Structure formats: C-alpha cells, structure tokens
Chains A and B, each alone.
Chain A
Amino acid sequence: MSIGSVPLRYKISVDHDQCMLCGRCVESCPYGVFRIDREKIHVNSRVCVACHRCIAMCPRDAIDLTERPVDYRSHPLWTPQVRESIYNQARSGKILLSGMGNAMDYPVIFDRLVLDACQVTNPSIDPLREPMELRTYIGKKPSKLEFQKVNGDMVLKTSLSPNLMLETPIMIGHMSYGAISLNAQQSLARAVKEIGTYMGTGEGGLHESIYPYQDHMIVQVASGRFGVDINYLERGAAIEIKIGQGAKPGLGGHLPGEKICADVSSTRMIPEGSDAISPAPHHDIYSIEDLKQLVLSLKEAIEWKKPVFVKIAAVHNSAAIAAGIARSGADAVVIDGFRGGTGAAPRVFRDHVGIPIEAAIASVDAKLRSQGIRNEVSIIASGGIRESPDVAKIIALGADAVYIGTAALVAMGCRVCGTCYRGLCPWGIATQRPDLVARLDPDIASANVMNLIHAWTLELSELMGAAGINSIESLRGNRDRLRGYLLDEGIMRVLDVKMVGA
C-alpha cells in the first residue's frame, strides 16, 4: 500500500481582493508555486519552501504564508519532522539532505550568557568621545620580545610572523563560488574590502572578477583541492586548510553537477557538469604530522609571506586537536561550531554531530593557555554567530575574531529557508541559474553587508565601552565579564564563568 501524501509544510494563500494580478509572484517563484489562469492567481502550496521572495515582491501584501497548516496528532516523541523523515526514507531509501545550520532545539548557550557594564566605581567609556580599538591581528604572536641596544637606541631583535590586520574582529567565512553565485561572492568581497576585513573563498577557486579584492581573500585548500594552483595561493591574503565543517563534521563536500556551469568549472578547474566531490579526509593527511607537512609546504610555496589557517569542526576533542594544530606551524585555528551553516549536508550530521561553538572556544582557549601556546595561534570562531552580542561573548570566552556566514547571506536577502542544495535560490545567492543570479545586485548587496558589519562593529564598541574597555584585547578571554543565567554547573565549569549574582 502507498504511504500517500504528507500534509503541506507551508500553505500559501492569496487575498484576491488585494491582488492586482501583476504576476510578480509568478515571476518570483522558481519553485512554481504560482500561476495565472483566467484572471486569477492559483497556488500549489506543496512546492513552497518559505523563501518569502513572493511576499517580498508583492506590491499589495496580498500573499500570506502559514507553516504546518495541518496538524498531526501531537506527540512529544513522534514529532511531525520525525514522521516525515520516515515517510521520506521509506519511499526513497536515501540519506536525507538538508541545508543551513542545525535545526534541532538544543539550548543556545549564547542566550544564557549575559554581559557586564560599569556602574559608579568605574566610568563607562563613550565611544563617540573616546578612542575605541577593535583592530585585531590574526596570526602568530611572539610570547616575549627581546630588544638590543644599538648606539643607545632600542632595536627589536624578535621578528614578527605575518599577520592579517582586521579593523573589526568580524570576518566572513568560506562560501565558495559554486555554492553561492558570483554576484553574491562579489558583493561580500566588496564589503570586506571596504570595511577592512577578510573573507574566505571556500573550496571554489578564485574567479578573475574577485582578483581586485584578493588582498582581502583567504584562499581555501580543502580535500578536493579544487581551484588550487600557485597563482591562487599567491593571490590570497592568507591560506586556510579546511579539515572539517561544523555543519557536517567528518564529511567532505558535494557540489552537484547542475551547479557546475562553464564559469564555475574553469574557476574550480574541473569538467563542466561533473559533480565536485571533496573526500571526507584529505588523502595526504592521515595524522597531525601530515598536517604539519602541508602547512609548511604551503608556507614554502608562498615564501613564508602569509599566514596559514587550519579549520576544524567543533567536536568532542577539539581542544587537544587545536593544541596539535598550534604546534604544526599554523598561524590560526578556525573552530566551526555545530550550528554552522552549509549549502547541503546530510540532515543527521547537521543536527546530531559536533558541539556548540561556545563550549569549543572555551576549552580550546583554556587548553592553549595551559600549555603556554596561546600566542602561537589566533582563534577564529564560527558557526552560529547571529548578532553583535554573540561576537562579544565568544571573544570574552577566548576567540580573537569570528567568521560569519549565514548572517552575511541574510543581509543580502536570504530568508534561511534551508533549500540551498536545490540550486534555485530565488534571492540569487545560492544558485547558478543566470536569471536568478541577476536578481542579486552587487551594488546593493555589498552595501547591505557593509551596513551589517558596520552596525555590529558600532554595537560592539558600545558594549565594550559600557564594560569600561577600550581595546578588544582586554575583552579577549575576559570571562569575568560574563555571567551564566540558568546554565547548569557543568557547562559553567567548561566555560569558566560564574553564575548571575555571583
């Protein structure tokens, strides 16, 4: 017997009194929800993904969307999601795909941490009147300095490793051309250059049109080595070796052939239309000493002029792994938490593998300090950074800077519908279909991303000023300025923060 259809996930309704039959909804929707027939808009709600493009485009606010309009019999264990996954797999026999970040209802540690402010005994600092320093250097720092007196002048004997200079501790993480459109990548690139920060290329190579922004690009070397040649390595401001990703720790990547158009194919250096499959491990890295060889050979290739980062997913043993990375010669370690976004990941990995970024950063920072190697690497936190207080909190837990991903996409219009893997993004972000890509105007989108980073930077300045801090390095690892609110004792021990009132 057949399982039959499952209830609608979203129901679209059109207010026909409001509708003026302009047809914008029909044009907007690449999934085919709308059609005009006999002077009336007809809808097929079953194909709707809740991307909101039609709603954003409707000049009359005539479209309404309801989530889960049909109830299942309620049950705390057998949730509608669980039942539908089973129906899906019973029908297909396949691994379920999903997009964006972890969709499980785990508690968000960020939301149970509160920041501090000054009252009476010390003055808060007004960033409008006093200097406020958010400048951040990413790379190896000497643990001590040595000076020499030469003809009465102090001369520095210690030599400094190459560092990236950020005007704000907010960078944009790795989203490849292929996973996102060229217009999207150009928009992000323009924004980071303007702001004075950096972004990652992802494992998609460096398209020629991004060359003008190459001094702000971190080029990625991942397990597929797509797009990697000496030209690519030399153009980037830094190199990042990607070992793992928070959304799917332990897995590689898969860009379906449909997204490999001519341009993507030449940038990635792979045949047009072929699936781009990055293996789960790097086939030349089977342990930490192999990573060290790759770090050093990349440095040799670029004549030791630029920092090399290593990115791992936040997993149970991240702290010890990060300590190994710190000894590999790498200049920064990126920790990607289990809420990190993705274009496509098996749902079970997205939702069930890895640990939250807050706990991972706290334990990595503590481990590096206990071994006296905190200055050997910078720590970059990513995966689930949603707003400026998250940035302040994760820096207070020990990070040097953050990567944002989803937040930057949302700034360009993304509605977090989680359907990136279909390649039909109606906002022109996660798609390669020319007509959809053309919807994203880099002039506007780059300004939106710039505005977002600028706004967060202002908020961060205010939060620091209120805490009586005028330099970001005094926030870094300053867990005394955090308190846990309704966090359990075990977590607070890991975070090394006190509870509210203590």
Chain B
Amino acid sequence: MCGIIGVIDRSRARMNGTGIRAALSEMDERGSGEGAGYAVYGAFPDFKDYYAIHVFFDNLHEAKPAVEDELSKWGVIEHDEAIPTNEHHGLRKVHIPWRFFFRPDPHLMPRSTSPEDDIVMHLVMKVNTSIPGALIFSSGKNVAVFKASGWPEDVADFYGIQDYKGYLWMGHNRYPTNTPGWWGGAHPFNLLNWSVVHNGEITSYGTNRRYIESYGYRCSMYTDTEVVAYLFDLLVRRHGLPLETAVKALAPPFWDEIDRMSGKEQEIYRAIRLAYGSALMNGPFAIVVANNESMVGFTDRIKLRPLVSGVRGNRLYISSEEAAIRTMDPDVEEISMPKAGEPTIGRFLV
C-alpha cells in the first residue's frame, strides 16, 4: 500500500508545494513514515535548459569529486549547490542532497540521435553503479525531485517544498514492503525528464529488468519502480511510440478483447503484444508518470490498485484517493475512476 498523487496545470500556471503537501498528508494511512517524495516540473526557470542532476552524497570529500570528474568528462557544470534543507526532529540528514546544472557536449556521443539525453543516461547508470556514496536520483531539465525516508509532511518541511513553484507536481507516500526504506528507494523515481510514482508491486519485474538491461539500462535502486521510468524512456523517447501506445504496451488489453477488435486495430494491438511482451507490467499497480509535455496515470490490467482522477479548469489531478484530490482542491469537478489499463492523460496546452 502506498499513496500517490499527481497534478498538472495545462496552461503551465505554477503552483507552490503547499497543496500537494497537504494532499499527501491526507493519505498518511497509506504510508508507514519510511519514505515520501515529491517531483516538480518548472522548478528552475533560470536553468531550464540545463540538466538538473540531483545527487545524494554520503560525503563531500570523496564521492562529490568523483561525480564532478565524471560530469566534467562529458560536459560543463554551469552551477552547483547544496540543496537547501532544514533538519528537524522528524528528519535527520542521512545523505547530503546536492544539485548540478549540467550541459553535456553532444559531440562526445556522435552515434546517437539524441546525444545529450544519452550522455546523461550514461552518466546516471555509471555513477549509480560505480561510485560508492553517490546516487543520482533526478536528472531532467527544469525538474526537481525531493525525497527521503520519513512522513510526507516531514520530507516537505525538510526540503521546504512550499518555496518551490511548478506547473506539474507529483507526490508519493510510501509503505515499503519488498525493499528497505532508504532515501534512494523513496519515490518519485526519475530518469531524464521522466518521473514515476507507483503504488503496488510489479510481479513481472524480473522480466522487465532483463528486458530493459539489454538496452543498456542498469537497475540500481533495489526496487521495481525504477524499471517504469526506464521503460517509458525506451518506448517513448528511444522507440518514438506515442504516450498512449506506450501505456498500451505496458498494460495491454487481454487477447479476448484484441480478438474482438476490427482489422486495423487488432493488427496494432497484436503487434504491440508481440513486440513488447517483455515490457508488459504485471501485478497490482497504479502509476503516475510525467515528463515535460504531459502526465499520465494508469493501473494494471485488472485494476488491483485504486486510481481516481479529477478535473477543474486547466488542472488534472490523479491520485489513489479522492480525499487527497479534494484536500488540494475542494472545488474539483469531474471526479472519475479510470478503467483498468486505460490511460488518463493531461497534456500542456502551451
């Protein structure tokens, strides 16, 4: 059990973190105080063209220079700073959160069609698997992730998220079961511009992990959720699938339904299941995934985890609980329950 929530303002009007903090606290029943986190898009307007590399350091004298070395091999660090935190009784600084604003040099990866993204992906995989005491947990442009082990309100106060503003927020209240409650294991999980919050357990993790690892991704966080970020990166960014199609690859219709479809549609879904069988995610889950263009929420194929959506004006909310959405926006309209496997998508208008 975990509580998730995401909100997107389609006109890119920015919201501060107060609302989502309250919404996530509303779902404390779904958590255990061992992990919480937030992602915010539009957080760094002054550095919006730089990759915001967020790192948990265990120390600054050995791990940080090692990461700086790696980054400098592949590009330029425009600016870096300690992420401001306020230690308080509820939360102690187990790791030292740091952020780098980084510009990769595209000439260094000449074979790639998206060299900058590929350089950053390479750096994330390399740092997380080879530099002890350093974990990159967020690496997108204009995106910040704030997470730690603790209750959502404590994590929010620790990072002072009410001081950040963004046009898309996500939050997660964790009750860890199959992996320990550690800072790296808290959600959201992020790679490049992809962020994921997830409630559930992916029973196909072994299949998904072996599939994604054959494309150069390395799972390093001891938890099933990270494959979701990698799968979206592979299917949407690298294979160029539309977002809806990617969701249909991860939570496809049953063969019975496909057999009843008309010719062209049947052909498409059959092809999706054949090509992307190893990407199919099984087991109970409700997931919200975001990037700089959109936010999508969906559940497993038989909806073993709750997901509710609400709309008001340009805002779309997706959450585990209607109560959380109403906490954030008491006047929300159009509350609905998406069907199993059906994506609920919000896209920016501008």
Which residues of A are interface residues toward B (Cβ below 8 A)? 118, 120-123, 125, 130-131, 133, 135, 137, 141-147, 153-156, 158, 160, 163, 369-370, 372, 374-375, 396, 467-471, 473-481
Residue contacts A-B, CB under 8 angstroms, 27 given: A121-B201, A122-B283, A131-B256, A133-B255, A137-B274, A141-B274, A141-B275, A145-B241, A145-B275, A154-B242, A155-B264, A156-B264, A156-B268, A156-B271, A160-B270, A372-B214, A469-B203, A471-B280, A471-B301, A473-B277, A476-B277, A477-B211, A478-B205, A478-B207, A479-B206, A479-B210, A480-B206
Residues of B within 8 A of A372 (CB): 214-215
Q: From the candidates B204, B256, B304, name the one contacting A469 in the complex (CB within 8 A).
A: B204
Flag if A374 contacts B214 (CB, 8 Å): yes
- Asked whether B254 lies within 8 Å of A131 as measured between CB atoms, the reply is yes
Q: Which B residues contact A (CB, under 8 angstroms)?
A: 177-178, 200-201, 203-207, 209-211, 213-215, 239-242, 245, 254-256, 264, 267-268, 270-278, 280-284, 301-302, 304
Residue of A nearest to B201 (CB): A122
Q: Which residues of A contact B240 (CB under 8 A)?
A: 146
Q: Is B278 a contact partner of A473 (Cβ separation < 8 A)?
A: yes
Partner of B282, one of A147, A370, A469: A469
Q: Are B204 and A123 in contact (CB under 8 A)?
A: no
Is the beta-carbon distance between B203 and A121 smaller than 8 angstroms?
no
| Known pairs A142-B271, A143-B275; A473 contacts B207 (CB<8 A) | yes
Chain A's nearest CB lies how many Å from the CB of B159? 28
A141 vs B279: C-alpha distance when bound (angstroms): 13
Nearest neighbor of A136 in chain B, beta-carbon distance: B277
Judge whether B203 and A156 touch: CB under 8 Å.
Answer: no
The answer to whether A122 touches B284, judged by C-beta atoms less than 8 angstroms apart, is yes
Do A145 and B272 touch (CB < 8 A)? yes
Cβ-defined contact, B280 with A474, below 8 A:
yes
> In the complex, A242→B206 CA distance in Å?
32
Do A122 and B275 have beta carbons less than 8 Å apart? no
Which B residues lie within 8 Å of A156 (CB)? Answer: 264, 267-268, 271
Q: For A375, list chain B residues within 8 Å (CB).
A: 275
B207 touches A468 (CB 8 A): no
Partner of A145, one of B203, B271, B284: B271
User: B239–A145 contact, CB under 8 A?
Assistant: yes
Q: Please, which residue of chain B has its CB at the minimum distance from the CB of A476?
A: B207
Instruction: Say how far A486's CB is from chain B's closest CB, in angstroms.
Output: 21
Partner of B206 from A122, A125, A142, A481 at Cβ < 8 Å? A481
For A121, the closest partner residue in chain B by CB is: B177
A108 CA / B302 CA spacing, docked (Å): 37
From B276, which residue of chain A is reached at the shortest CB distance?
Answer: A145
A143 to chain B: closest residue by CB:
B275
Q: How far is the CA of A135 from the CA of B256 in the complex (A)?
A: 10
- Chain A residues lying within 8 Å of B201, measured Cβ to Cβ, are 121-122, 468
| Residues of chain B contacted by A146 (CB below 8 angstroms) | 240
A146 to B241, CA, bound (A): 7
Say whether, besides A122-B283, A142-B271, A160-B274, A475 and B215 are in contact (CB < 8 Å): no
Q: Cα distance A374–B215 when bound, in Å?
A: 12
Question: What 6 A-B pairs have minimum CB-CB distances, sorted nearest first?
Answer: A480-B206, A474-B204, A473-B277, A474-B282, A478-B206, A468-B203
Task: Flag if B215 contacts A122 (CB, 8 Å).
Answer: no
Given contacts A118-B203, A481-B206, contact A468 B283 (CB under 8 A): yes
Closest chain-B Cβ to A478's Cβ sits at a distance in Å of 4
Partner of B302, one of A120, A125, A158, A467: A125
Contact A369-B214, Cβ < 8 Å, known A141-B275, A158-B271: yes
Name the CB-closest residue of B to A467: B203
B245: chain A residues at CB < 8 Å are: 145, 147, 154
Distance, CA A488 to CA B191, complexed state (A): 37
Give min CB distance, B236 to chain A, whole Å: 12
Cα–Cα distance between A471 and B249 once the two chains are bound (Å)? 13
Residues of B close to A370: CB separation below 8 A? 214
Contacts of B281 in A (CB 8 A): 474
Please measure, in the bound complex, the distance between the C-alpha atom of A478 and the C-alpha atom of B280, giving whole angstroms.
12
The residues of B that contact A118 with a CB separation of less than 8 Å are: 203
Residues of A near B214 (CB, < 8 A) are: 369-370, 372, 374
A480-B254 in contact (CB<8A): no
> What is the minimal beta-carbon distance from B203 to any residue of chain A, in angstroms?
4
- Bound form: Cα–Cα A145–B283 in Å: 25
Give the residues in chain A near B256, CB-CB below 8 Å: 131
A474:B210 contact, CB within 8 angstroms: no
A473 in contact with B280 given A142-B271, A160-B274, A375-B275 (CB within 8 Å): yes
Q: Is the CB of B178 within 8 A of A121?
A: yes
The distance from the CB of A121 to the nearest CB of chain B, in whole angstroms, is 4
In the bound assembly, the distance between CA atoms of A220 and B271 in angstroms comes to 28
| Docked CA distance A158–B211 (Å) | 20
The complex places the Cα of A466 from the Cα of B11 at a distance, in Å, of: 45
How far apart sit A233 and B19, CA to CA, in the bound complex (Å)? 68
Q: In the assembled complex, how far is the CB of residue A346 from the closest CB belonging to chain B, in whole angstroms?
A: 38
Taking a contact as CB atoms under 8 Å apart, the answer to whether B255 and A144 are in contact is no
Contact of A163 with B268 at beta-carbon distance under 8 Å, contacts A133-B254, A133-B255, A369-B214 already known:
no
